[in-house]
Amino acid sequence: MKAVVHTLGCKTNQYESGAVIKKLAEHGYEVTDNFEAEANLYIINTCAVTAEAERKSRQAARRCSTLSPQADVIIMGCAAQNSAKRFLSMDNVVAAGGISGKVSLIERYLSGERKFSDISISKSYEDETPIKNRTRSYIKVQDGCDKFCSYCIVPILRGRSRSRDLDSIIKEIENCRSKEIVLGGIDLSDYNFEGITLVDLLRRIGKLSERVRISSLGVKAVTPKLLYAMKEGNFCPHFHLSIQSGSNEVLNNMNRQYTSQDIISACELIKQYYPRAAITSDIIAGFPEESDQNHLETLATLEEAGLSYMHIFPYSIRQGTRAAKMPQIDRKIKRQRVRDLEVLREKLWAKFLESEYGKISEVITEQTEDEYVTGHTENYIKVYLPKNTPKDKLIKVRIGKRMKDGVEGILFKKGEGATNGFKRRFV
């Protein structure tokens, strides 16, 4: 029996898909993530963070019957949480589940149940461990969100914040043979298991892997206490901050609990502890009621903060949120503001890569792309190396010229000189 598991959206979804793959493999399925492959069973783990993501989820669900007309289809995840009945009415869809109980949904299918749905949300953390790969593994430690930002449907779909047992996290990391682990969740900054905070967690797990990366942090989570805890372990100098806007008025309308100055201060603090840190973020363009002045304020804040890179999204209406009822920005204006942010992104990215040129980094070699082997540095720069470079290795390289979506990597030779800053634990 063959199964395809197709995942849309965030790393949390990818982690949960890994648990589904593990369960299917235990029942004798040959599992792939190649969506174009013919199979007996298709599982679509959906996303609903934007209207476009939900549209793609529906599109993927419909495509399954074209790929293999006789195959069963199971839909799960955030889009299914939002529209389970709609998915269940589609051809070949035999089950629809939400964000909780994804493995349980598969177990019910394997036991013979058909045409059922379950979108109940667990009030406690569900501990479902996936199969790990050799290079980089995502470790989910938290789920749900209590923030209720005015534009975001995620707290409605994923429920309230809940954190994972510390002993369970440590056990998974200790059993994981990956060279790098990525710590994450829906709102990682809110991690709190029976009084054990995120800072406590970082102190406990910081030396359990060769490299530890944090997936995303809130602006207010960046404190000397947190950064000092990271410096004690093998944490990578790569920070993805949840910023969204650089205008105080827009941040207030978004119900974000920080200011533009807080953003700048957080970035300055990170660079005090990690001078070579990459600081990335997600930015929303054209939020409801965003004025031209607000947009200019965002551009100015992001440039002053000195971000390395930005993921830019035009605002997308999510029904059921407060922002959906606010006066909307014209699409043409949104598109222009996206372009303005893209220009700034290129400027910031070029400046960051220029600052890294000639320096020594450690790269985990991951995969072959065309005539190269690629991997990522501690501060998450994609590096292109000669095709005969061994994979799944941690190697030193000198950062070369810009190349494609990253840089050329020049293999470091012993006795060549100082490492320019990273060394072990990236002090």
Quick: pLDDT tens for 274-288: 999 999 999 999 999
CB atoms within 10 A of CB 357: 12
User: Which run of H or E residues covers position 263?
Assistant: helix 260-273
Look at 195-204, 335-344, 409-418 and tell me which has the smallest mean pLDDT. 409-418
Q: How far apart are CA 51 and CA 57, in angstroms?
A: 10
Q: How far apart are CA 65 and CA 319, in angstroms?
A: 29
pLDDT above 70 covers what percent of the chain? Answer: 96
pLDDT (average), residues 91-110: 93
CATH 2.40.50.140 domain extents, the chain = 357-426
Q: How far apart are CA 148 and CA 54, in angstroms?
A: 19
Give the pLDDT confidence score for residue 354 in this predicted structure: 97
Give the pLDDT confidence score for residue 422 in this predicted structure: 46
pLDDT (average), residues 184-210: 96
Taking only the tens place, the pLDDT of each residue in 235-265 is 999 999 999 999 999 999 999 999 999 999 9
Q: How confident is the model at residue 97 (pLDDT cuts 50, 70, 90)?
A: very high
Q: How confident is the model at residue 421 (pLDDT cuts 50, 70, 90)?
A: very low
Second-level CATH architecture of 136-355: Alpha-Beta Horseshoe (3.80)
pLDDT (average), residues 408-412: 91
Looking at the chain, how many residues does it have? 427
- Residue 105 scores a pLDDT above 80: yes
Residue 96 β-bridge partners: 75, 117
Q: What is the mean pLDDT of the chain?
A: 93
Q: Which residues of 192-221 are buried (b: 16+ CB within 10 A; e: fewer)?
A: ebeebbbbebbbbbbebbebbbbbbbbbeb
Give the pLDDT confidence score for residue 413 in this predicted structure: 73
- Residue 220 scores a pLDDT above 60: yes
- Residue 424 scores a pLDDT above 50: no
Quick one: 37 exposed, middle or buried, by C-beta within 10 A (0-12, 13-18, 19+)?
middle
Q: How far apart are CA 370 and CA 356, in angstroms?
A: 25
CATH 3.80.30.20 domain extents, the chain = 136-355
Give the pLDDT confidence score for residue 176 in this predicted structure: 87
Taking only the tens place, the pLDDT of each residue in 182-196 is 999 999 999 999 999
Q: How confident is the model at residue 132 (pLDDT cuts 50, 70, 90)?
A: low
- Residue 418 scores a pLDDT above 70: no
Check: CATH 3.30.479.30 for 2-118?
no
Question: At which residue do the structure tokens 């600052």 appear?
Answer: 355
Q: 357-426 adopts what CATH topology?
A: OB fold (Dihydrolipoamide Acetyltransferase, E2P) (2.40.50)
Give the pLDDT confidence score for residue 426 in this predicted structure: 35
Taking only the tens place, the pLDDT of each residue in 13-62 is 989 999 999 999 999 999 999 999 999 999 999 999 988 999 999 999 99
CATH 3.40.50.2300 domain extents, the chain = 2-118
Give the pLDDT confidence score for residue 126 in this predicted structure: 83
pLDDT (average), residues 324-353: 97
